[in-house]
Structure 1
Amino acid sequence: MADYQTIRAGAGVRTAQIDAGLRAHMNKVYGTMSVGMLITALSAWAFAGLAVTGGLEGEIALSQFGQAIYASPLKWLIMFAPLIMVFAFGAVINKLTAAAAQLYFYAFAMLMGLSLSSIFLVYTGVSIAQTFLITAISFAGLSLWGYTTKKDISGWGSFLIMGVIGLIVASLVNIFLASPAINFAISALGVLIFAGLTAYDTQRIKTDYIQHAQVADKEWLGKSAIMGALNLYLDFINLFMFLLQFLGNRE
C-alpha cells in the first residue's frame, strides 16, 4: 500500500509539473504570436503611410514608394514572399537555435505587414479596427475551445489542409477571372477553414507539448513554441483577411 501511495504521489507531482509547464508553454506561444501581430500591424500602418502622398480631395495618391510596391511587378514579390518564408521556415528550423527562429518569425511578421499594408488604402480605418476586434474575439473563443475540449479533433487536420490548398488554388485562378461570386465563396470557405484551424492548431500545440514533456528538451520546447505561434498567427491573419472581405467598408 505504501508503495502504491508513493507511486500515485509521484505521478501527481509529474502531472502538476506538466500542467505548470504547459501553461508556461502556451503563454510563450500566445506571447510570441502577440508580438508578431504587433509588428505586423505597425509595419503595415507605417508602409501604408509611406505609400501615400498629397492628392486631390477625397482621392488617394501614391508616392514613389507606393508606386514601387503597389503599381509595379514588385507587388507580386511582396505578395508571395511571406508564403516563401513560411515554407523555408519549416525547412530550416531544425538548423536554427530557438533565438534565431524567434528572430526569423519577427522578420516574417514585418514582411507580412508590408504585404498587408494595402488594406489601409482600400478599407476605412474604422472598418479595419472593427474587423480586427471581431477577429480577436472569435479567435480567442475558438482557441479556448480547442484548448479545453475533451473531443479529439486531430482528424480535422487532413481535411483542413486540403481546404487551404483548395483556397490557394482558387485564389490564384480568380486573380485572372476576377469573379465576384468565386471571391465570395472563397471568403466564406476561408472563414470556416481558418476557424477550424484555430481550434485544431491549439489542441495540437497542447498535445505535442504533453507528448514531449517527459523529455524536457528546452531547445525543442523553445522551437515548438515559436512554430505554434507561427501557426496561430497565420490562422489569425487569414481569418482577419477573409472576414474583412465581408465586413470591411471600402474607401
Structure 2
Amino acid sequence: MNPVSQIPRTGAAVARDEGLRSYMLGIYRNMGIGLAITGVVAMLVASSPQLTALIFGTPLKWVAMLAPLAFVFFFTFRIDRMTTATARTAFFIFAAVMGVSMASIFLVFTNTSIAMAFFTASAMFAGLSLVGYTTRRDLTGMGNFLFMGLIAVIGASLVNLFIGSSVLQMVLSVVGVIVFAGLTAWDTQRLKSEYIAYGRSEAGDKLAIMGALSLYLNLINMFQLLLGLMGERE
C-alpha cells in the first residue's frame, strides 16, 4: 500500500476530529451560558420579596411552573423556521424563563443544599456525557426506552401536582434521575452523529442549539430531582 495515499485520508480524519471538538465545545458553551442566565435570574427573583410574592403567592405560580414546558414544545416545533441566531436567542430567553420558575428553590431549600445538589448533578452530567462521547456502543435503543420513561415521568409529575403524594414524588425523583442520566449519554452520542451527518451547515448549527437545550434540560432536571431527594429545607 502506498503510504502517500494515506495522507489525505489522515488529514481529513484530523480535520473532522477538530471540527467535532469545536462543534461540541460550542454546544457546551451555549449550554453554560443558558445555565448562567437561569442562575442569575433565579437569584434576582428570589432576592426580591415583591417579585416572589407576585409570582409565587398568586395563580401566576402556575404560569411560572408550566411556561418552560410550553416553551420547549414551541421551540421544538418552530426551530425549522428560525435562523441559527434566532434559535440561539430563543434558547437564552427560555433559560431566563426557567430562572423565574426555579427561583422558588431559594425560598424552600438552604443555599448549602442547593450548591451540593448542583455540584452532584454537574459531576454526574460530566461523567455521563463523557461516556456518551467516547463509547462505541450504539445507544439508539436505550434512547427510545428512556424517552418513553421521560413521558411517563412528566405525566405522573403533572398528576402529582394535584395529588401531592410524597411517596410518589420520591419514586418519580429516583426514576427521573436515572432517566435523565441515561439521556445525557444518549444525547451526547446523538449530537456526534448529527455532526457527522450535517457538519457546520445551517441545519447542523440549529441542531446544535437544540442539542444545547437537550443537555441543559438533562442537567437542570437532574439537579432539581437530586435537590428534592437530598435537599435540606429552610
- TM class, shorter-chain normalised? over 0.9
- If the length of structure 2 is used for normalisation, what is the TM-score? 0.96
CA distance in 2, matches of 1:67, 1:48: 10
Unaligned runs of 5+ in 1: 53-62
CA distance in 2, matches of 1:188, 1:93: 32
- If the length of structure 1 is used for normalisation, what is the TM-score? 0.90
What residue is the counterpart of 2:13 in the other structure? 15
Q: Report 1:1-251 matches (<5 A).
A: 2=2, 5-6=4-5, 8-50=6-48, 52=49, 63=50, 65-213=51-199, 216-217=200-201, 219-251=202-234
* Paired residue type of 1:154: T
Residue by residue, what CA displacement relative to the aligned partner does 1:152-203 show, whole Å, maximum 9, x if unpaired? 1111111111111111111111122211110110000001000000111011
3-state SS in 2 of match to 1:155: helix
CA distance in 2, matches of 1:173, 1:90: 24
Deviation at 1:10, TM superposition (A): 2.2
User: In proportion to residue count, which structure has more helix?
Assistant: 2
CA distance in 2, matches of 1:185, 1:125: 24
CA distance in 1, matches of 2:4, 2:137: 31
Aligned partners of 2:194 and 2:204 also within 8 Å:
no
Aligned residues: percent identity?
45
Deviation at 1:5, TM superposition (A): 4.4
RMSD: 1.3
**Bigger radius of gyration:** 1
Which runs of structure 1 show a deviation greater than 4 angstroms over 4 or more consecutive aligned residues? none
